[in-house]
Amino acid sequence: MFKSICAIAAGSLLLASATVQAASDKGTIVIKFAHVVADSTPKGQGALLFKKLTEERLGDKVKVEIYPNSTLYGDANELEALSNNEVQLLAPSLAKFEKYTKQLQVFDLPFLFDDLAAVNRFQKRAKGRQLLRSMEDHNIVGLAYWHNGMKQLSATKALRVPSDAAGLKFRIQPSTVLEAQFNSLGATPLVLPFADVFDALKSGKVQGAENPWSNIYSKQLHSVQPFITETNHGVLDYMLVSNPRFWYAIPHQIRMQLEGIIDEVTFEVNRQAEAANQADRERIAAAAGTQVIALNDEQRNAWRNAMQPVWQQFEGVIGADVMKAAQTVNRNKSN
């Protein structure tokens, strides 16, 4: 009896180790890619395209698992999970890296970039590319910039001039630049994770927010925000990041293929983001119960004048060189 129990136990042990052996012989690299938005957004589509191209070209060498809508990790814990290698790819919005580098705060400065094309030029130039490497001391390597779009202000009341925002509470991402931006309007900023925005707006915990059209539409934020002002006052873009200990341990040949795929996906995401946001803008404008408010030049200048003093406040921490480089990319000033 004892002999047969021992034989069964030894057999199970052998089977278990054979399975582990087989799994490691197979050597499939698993890349978990977590993000906080819907599949239909520019980032969501980029993640899905990365999975598709990787699995088509690398077969069972690499498996990509996508976790959208904060289903695996959210704003509160995703960067920590990356550093612990519990997730291998993320694409947080640039505002969410403030803890790791102050330089990326340049992207949060209001009215710094005229449009997404200007943002694109900055990201492609030397200074923008340098920022991809600005968090390596914190075990974060930037692989690419992905666009979402320009941000719009939404609220429970019509925002036509800056003083309309005074006294309202706005949800913000964890960024001291965005905090200062809303303070400059006499409004109260409140940091909340993206996953909580809809409920916070619906319950009245906050009365306003700033988002690109795609995030507003995919989360149906317009159903709880009767007024959206087309301010285009800032940008919401992403950095695709990994943990360098994981990324540089991928066998060279495979990593080169993955980086090639990332370049292709980046091109597609960035080519389609503007159109995707415009399509969502049209859907929102057509929806009952939400008014899209367009600003004339004079009104938009009033918002710019109210928010722009924030630049000076942050020049010391962001760096004059970074800010200067960013200011050269607008159409009327670019080469």
Sign, CA dihedral 298-300-301-307, equals positive
Asked whether the beta carbons of 195 and 75 are under 8 A apart, the reply is: yes
How many angstroms from the chain centroid is the CA of residue 53?
21
Kindly give, in sequence order, each residue whose CB lies less than 8 Å from that of residue 331, ignoring residues fewer than 6 positions away: 114, 115, 117, 118
218 binds ligand SIN (CB under 6 A): no
Q: How many residues bind ligand SIN (CB under 6 A)?
A: 9
- Alpha-carbon distance 74 to 121, whole Å? 30
User: What character string, x for contact with ligand SIN (CB under 6 A) and - otherwise, covers 195-214?
Assistant: ----------------x---
CA neighbours closer than 13 Å in the CB half-sphere of residue 227 = 15
Q: Which of 194, 217, 246, 303 forms a contact with ligand SIN (CB under 6 A)?
A: 194
Q: Which of 29, 34, 36, 118 forms a contact with ligand SIN (CB under 6 A)?
A: 36
Kindly give, in sequence order, each residue whose CB lies less than 8 Å from that of residue 74, ignoring residues fewer than 6 positions away: 36, 193, 194, 195
Q: Which of 123, 134, 176, 215 forms a contact with ligand SIN (CB under 6 A)?
A: 215
Work out how close the CB of 63 gets to ligand SIN at its nearest, in angstroms, rounded to a whole number.
Answer: 24
144 binds ligand SIN (CB under 6 A): no
173 binds ligand SIN (CB under 6 A): yes
Q: Which of 54, 134, 139, 148 forms a contact with ligand SIN (CB under 6 A)?
A: 148
What amino acid is encoded at 12 in this protein? S
User: What character string, x for contact with ligand SIN (CB under 6 A) and - otherwise, covers 81-100?
Assistant: ------------x-------
Q: Which of 29, 31, 34, 37 forms a contact with ligand SIN (CB under 6 A)?
A: 37
- Alpha-carbon distance 137 to 159, whole Å? 42
- Alpha-carbon distance 62 to 329, whole Å? 38
- The smaller minimum CB distance to ligand SIN, of residues 67 and 315, is found at 67
Nearest residue by C-beta to ligand SIN? 194
- What residues make contact with ligand SIN under the rule CB under 6 A? 36-37, 93, 148, 173, 194, 211, 215, 236
